Amino acid sequence: MSTIMDGLSLGAIYALIALGYTMVYGIAKMLNFAHGDIIMVGAYAILTSLQLTGNPYLAVVVSIVVCTASGVIIERLAYKPLRGASPLAVLITAIGVSFFLQAVAQLIYGSKSQSISLPDFGKVAIGDVKINVSTILTLVIGGVIMTALTLFVKKTRTGRAMQAVSEDKGAALLMGVNVNRIIMVTFAIGSMLAAFASLFYLMQIPSITPTLGSMPGIKAFTAAVIGGIGSIPGAMLGGVLLGLIEKICLSIPKIAPYTTSIEFSLLIVILLVKPIGLLGKKIREKV
Amino acid sequence: MSRYIANVKKQFKFKHITTWLLVAIALVILIILSNAGALDRSTTGLLSKIAYSIILATSLNLVVGFLGELSLGHAGFACLGAYIGTFAASYLRESIDSKLVVIILAMLIGGLVAAVFGLIIGLPALRLKGDYLAIVTLAFGEIVRNIFKNLPMFGGAMGYASKTYNQKELFIIAFVAVIIVLILMQNLIRSKHGRAITAIRDNEIAARAMGINVTFYKLFVFVIAAFFAGIAGVLYGHFTTPILYTKFDYNFSIEILVMVVLGGMGSINGSIISATLITIINFELQAKLSGDLAAVRTLVYAIILILIVVFNNAPALKPIKERFSLNHLKAKRNAKKAAVIHDDAAEWNRIETKVKMDTVLTPDLPHNEAVTPDKPDKPAKEDKENG
Amino acid sequence: MADLMLETKNLGISFGGLKAVQDVNLKVQKNELYGLVGPNGAGKTTVFNMLTGVYQPTTGTFYLDGEELKGKSQEKINHKGIARTFQNIRLFNNMSVIRNVLVALHNQPEFKYNPFDAMLHTPRYYDVEVRMRDKAKEILDVFGLVDERNNLACNLSYGTQRRLEIARALATNPKLLLLDEPAAGMNPNETAELMSIVKGIRDRFDLTVLLIEHDMKFVSGLCDEVTVLNFGTTLAQGTTAEALNNPEVIRAYIGG
């Protein structure tokens, strides 16, 4: 039971990160490798502002602002000049940005892990099992954010413009959609989600290193691909699925060391069987 | 026989052998220096490092530069080679006396095992493109690492303690391996099979329509690249002890990719130069920058990587680039000359080594591209390196 | 029956329920120049894509020289003897002209050597490469491209690129050549030249040619028979003069 709850809350974190990947991929058609490192940026933002002000709520706000801003700045400086260039070029640039962020963080904060004390909400007992309140918070807030995002994309003007851009950039441009603005908004939203992810991540593992974001980032991308990249419900499904699998594997001592292998093998198998992911849309190559 | 010699004469061009000839000359000089006692232990160690970096970079270039698929798991193949090769060597040593034979057999075994995995990881490559393939190869690298970490027979998390080689001998073996790999690779590229591979990169749809067996060639390139990476891994394994799974993480794959990108995708010479430079810089910086300052190195690589890619690919920079590119200047000069004489025998199978990256991975050219063909823009920098 | 080069039976394909092409029955005689015409979006290129294995037909089948090729991969179909050009030119842009043709010669039985011959540069490698080059030059000569052979394909003029694409298709030694709008974007001189080239290669290489074209002068000047497609169905079929003067065809083109 507690394993499943842990799995769900880890899944919620993965889902939040995966959403960032999937939205950017859906709209800018690029794999933002640096997305995982935005989480790291968010974590250090929380750390620094907590050290300066001591107010955890303010720290969260600061982290959201910093993440959003860095997402937008990265997009403007590194990716925007490459619009229309080959996916490989963009991907390599994104890898460069990821390394850049890690190196800067290491120069500022050092490579040693720093611990952070977030307010402890204690535990509640449901039946016989005690569950961390932070786990429940993660689930609830994560669920709310994802619902809000779905509504945003479906109902608002900007959201519909996003759908249009992801469907056909050229046509959207002709219809008067400001594609550059939409891509920027997408990056902003994705990075904002990453800020939340970093908060929840720290609630589970309260220590920060410059490479904190890379593994969750890769795993969340795995989740996005498993769910079908470009699909918002797919990212949520993939994230939760991956979180559950990871926690279940870790809870069985015999296979715990091989958890990473199992997760990545799952990715390879799914891509081989269903290259578009579980909920992805099929793209026909035009000849 | 006479026909054979005539054929060879028809096609031979000095340019085709300069690459490995230069490496061979460098090796001879190094051997002389080493025998004269001019090279200390750390320098010979550095030389072995350069050797396996060159093999890794050039073999990755086969996949990224010539086939046009992105692989982020190249370190995984090297990891397989390192563990399996040295493991095999420790057994072989019991029955075979000659150290040279042992290391050659170990390289073949490590290479073959890596090649088998190259085949396995090549299978998804047939169905996936670009970003998807990148993530699958990345996943593969992590899986390999994770498994070696947990296998007790390979020392688990403590690493696999291997017998290292005498460094003075190892660097010679390593460089001979480099020369052989380079010859095989360049010969392959300069054949109809190499043409088929670059055709797939240039325009996969057209390549299929011309009856090129895309499936075979994609797998083939993955297998060959994995084989060579495995050999590089074996060299690494004979050079370092213990072999630690942590070395072969995703950052190492990226480092190899950086070498390929810096040297120019599709340029073997470029890969050799950048692999050598990066390894030397790494080596020098490692001693000077300790602790957290080591991040400066990463920072510099990151910035170079971003700047190079953005400069080479940003559509807005194209006119500026064209004005200052060497090619443009060359074209201007050529325009003044009345007639350009072509050397048939050599020109027909020359390799278009440097590709503009826009065309890699984007076989779907927009319609109007055909109407106003772009000049192939070769960045000035790469030209200098290869000149 | 025996002298049919291409026969399609009720060939059709649908994308997500939309019937893009249905019930196309072509009968192309050996050595014939056959036209496939119709307004934009009539499904002509889709027919080509089915014949070359890019799309798998959902209904019907087709035979090349009596052999059923439905369900075969693009490569296999090319090996069996169908080669094509593309509506939007798809050359290997970063390769020289002669290399484009050399790639197409890849599968000819007389030019076989394995990757190990290549890596070790065995005598066979040298022998084959030299012969391949001669053959490629011979083909380029037919199209008047010999002097351009060392230029990059992307630096050629548009009309020359079209010619090179045909040369390249021809190098795969096909029985049936599919030309997708070969005269598109050409000026009248180039078009006239192209007509004589197409006729010339038909006779010289004993080819059957199926072509898509909008230029009616080109079609009526070249083709023996045509099939007119409209909205994915066959509107008219027969000798060129007959089919093109069919009132239904005129209405489809002019509208009304």
pTM attached to this predicted model: 0.85
User: How do the domains of chain B map onto residue ranges?
Assistant: 18-313
Encode A184-207: b = buried (16+ Cβ within 10 Å), e = exposed. Answer: bbbbbbbbbbbbbbbbbbbbeebe
Rounded to the nearest 10°, the torsion over CA A197, A200, A202, A203 is 180
Has residue B81 got a pLDDT over 90? yes
Domains of chain C and CATH, by start: 4-81+174-254 (3.40.50.300), 92-156 (no CATH)
**Could you count the other beta carbons within 10 Å of the beta carbon of residue A41?**
27
Mean pLDDT of B68-84: 92
Q: What share of chain A is helix, strand, coil (3-state, %, to 5)?
A: 75, 5, 20
* Nearest CB partner across the interface for B302, out of A85, A96, A286: A96
CA distance A209 to C6: 67
Distance from CA of A282 to the nearest CA of C (A): 11
CA-closest candidate to residue C88, choices B122, B364, A191, B168? B364
Which chain C residue shows the shortest CA-CA distance from B368? C88
**What pLDDT does residue B3 have?**
75
Per-residue pLDDT tens over the stretch B357-376: 333 333 333 333 332 233 33
- Neighbours of B, requiring at least 3 CB pairs below 8 Å, are A, C
Question: Number of helices (H) and strands (E), helices first, in chain B?
Answer: 17, 0
| Residues counted in chain A | 287
Handedness of CA B220, B222, B223, B229 (dihedral sign): positive
The residues in A 152-181 lying below 8 A from B, measured between CB atoms, are none
Q: Are residues C155 and B10, on separate chains, in Cβ contact within 8 Å? A: no
Q: Is it true that the peptide bond before A56 is cis, omega within 30 degrees of 0?
A: no
CA distance A216 to A219: 5
Encode B302-339: b = buried (16+ Cβ within 10 Å), e = exposed. Answer: beebbebbbebbbeeebeebeeebebbeeeeeeeeeee
**What pLDDT does residue C255 have?**
63
Per-residue pLDDT tens over the stretch C211-252: 998 888 888 888 999 999 888 888 888 888 888 888 888 887
| Residue written as token pair 């990345």 | B138
CA distance A210 to B302: 15
Question: ∠ CA(B102), CA(B79), CA(B293), 5° rounding?
Answer: 120
pLDDT in tens, chain A (287 residues): 678 888 888 898 999 899 888 888 888 888 888 899 999 999 999 999 988 888 888 998 999 999 999 999 999 988 888 887 777 788 888 888 998 999 899 888 888 888 887 777 777 777 777 777 888 888 888 889 888 888 888 888 888 888 888 877 788 888 888 888 989 999 999 999 999 999 888 888 888 988 888 888 888 988 888 888 878 888 889 999 999 999 999 988 888 888 889 988 888 888 878 777 777 765 544 44
Contacts of residue A7, Cβ cutoff 8 Å, sequence gap at least 6: A243, A244, A245, A246, A247, A248
Average pLDDT, chain A: 85
Q: Check if CATH label 2.120.10 holds for domain B18-313.
A: no
Question: What are φ and ψ of residue A213, in 5° steps?
Answer: -80, -20
Q: What six digits make up the tokens of A25?
A: 């991929």
Per-residue pLDDT tens over the stretch A221-230: 888 888 888 7
Report how far Cα C148 is from the mean position of its chain's Cα atoms.
22
**What pLDDT does residue B333 have?**
57
Which chain B residue shows the shortest CA-CA distance from A86? B358
| Angle separating helix axes B250-263 and A87-109, nearest 10 degrees | 120
User: How do the domains of chain A map onto residue ranges?
Assistant: 17-215+228-234
- Whether C14 and chain A come into contact, CB under 8 Å, resolves to no
Q: Which range, of B10-19, B31-40, B234-243, averages the lowest pLDDT?
A: B10-19
- Whether A283 and chain C come into contact, CB under 8 Å, resolves to no
**What pLDDT does residue B353 have?**
37
3-state SS class at C238:
strand
Distance from CA of B226 to the nearest CA of A (A): 18
Could you give the percent of chain B with pLDDT greater than 70?
A: 79
* Nearest CB partner across the interface for B208, out of C74, C94, C119: C74
**What pLDDT does residue B297 have?**
79
CA distance A138 to A150: 18
CA distance B351 to B339: 23
Contacts of residue B308, Cβ cutoff 8 Å, sequence gap at least 6: B261, B262
Handedness of CA A135, A138, A140, A146 (dihedral sign): negative
CA distance A266 to A219: 11
ipTM given for this complex: 0.89
* Nearest CB partner across the interface for B199, out of C103, C126, C128: C103
| Residues counted in chain B | 387
Pairing of strands C176-180, C82-84: parallel
pLDDT in tens, chain C (256 residues): 458 899 999 999 988 778 888 889 999 999 999 999 888 888 888 999 999 998 889 999 999 998 999 889 999 999 999 999 998 889 998 889 999 999 999 998 889 898 888 888 888 888 899 999 999 999 999 888 999 888 999 888 888 899 999 999 999 999 999 999 998 888 888 888 889 999 999 998 889 999 998 888 888 888 999 999 888 888 888 888 888 888 888 887 766 4
> Which ranges of chain C would DSSP assign to H, the alpha helix?
44-51, 74-80, 97-104, 115-120, 123-142, 158-171, 188-205, 216-222, 240-245, 247-254
Name every chain A residue with its beta carbon within 8 A of the beta carbon of B124.
268, 271-272
CA-closest candidate to residue B165, choices B107, B104, B103? B103
Strand partners, C27: C7
Q: Which range, of A91-105, B28-42, B320-334, averages the lowest pLDDT?
A: B320-334
- Whether A268 and chain B come into contact, CB under 8 Å, resolves to yes
**Could you count the other beta carbons within 10 Å of the beta carbon of residue C105?**
24
Q: Are residues C45 and A287, on separate chains, in Cβ contact within 8 Å? A: yes
**What pLDDT does residue C164 have?**
93
Mean pLDDT of B337-357: 37
Average pLDDT, chain B: 79
- Whether A287 and chain C come into contact, CB under 8 Å, resolves to yes
Name every chain B residue with its beta carbon within 8 A of the beta carbon of C91.
203, 206
| Residue written as token pair 């190259």 | B118
Q: Are residues A86 and B357, on separate chains, in Cβ contact within 8 Å? A: yes
- Neighbours of C, requiring at least 3 CB pairs below 8 Å, are A, B
**What pLDDT does residue B330 have?**
59
Which of the 8 DSSP states describes residue B243?
Answer: B
SS (H, E, C) A248-272: HHHHCCCCHHHHHHHHHHHHHHHHH
Name every chain C residue with its beta carbon within 8 A of the beta carbon of B375.
155
Strand partners, C192: none
CA-closest candidate to residue B258, choices C239, A99, A119, A72? A99
3-state SS class at A215:
helix
Question: What are φ and ψ of residue C254, in 5° steps?
Answer: -85, -25
CA distance B203 to B220: 18
Q: What six digits make up the tokens of B376?
A: 């192939």
| Residues counted in chain C | 256
**What pLDDT does residue B359 have?**
38
| Residue written as token pair 């039976």 | C9
Q: Are residues A287 and C54, on separate chains, in Cβ contact within 8 Å? A: yes
Per-residue pLDDT tens over the stretch B100-159: 889 899 999 999 999 999 998 888 767 777 777 888 888 899 999 999 988 888 877 778
CA distance C147 to C134: 14
Strand partners, A208: A114
Q: Are residues B371 and C83, on separate chains, in Cβ contact within 8 Å? A: no
Q: Are residues B373 and C155, on separate chains, in Cβ contact within 8 Å? A: yes
Report how far Cα B23 is from the mean position of its chain's Cα atoms.
15
CA distance B256 to B278: 10
Strand partners, C211: C35, C179
* Nearest CB partner across the interface for B195, out of C103, C121, C126: C103
DSSP string, B339-365: -----HHHHTT-------GGGTT----
Higher pLDDT, B245 or B231: B231
Name every chain A residue with its beta carbon within 8 A of the beta carbon of B254.
95, 99
Q: What six digits make up the tokens of B293?
A: 């300052």
The residues in C 32-71 lying below 8 A from A, measured between CB atoms, are 45, 49, 54
Which of the 8 DSSP states describes residue C28?
Answer: E
CA distance B204 to A162: 31
**What pLDDT does residue A53 have?**
86
Q: Are residues C15 and A284, on separate chains, in Cβ contact within 8 Å? A: yes
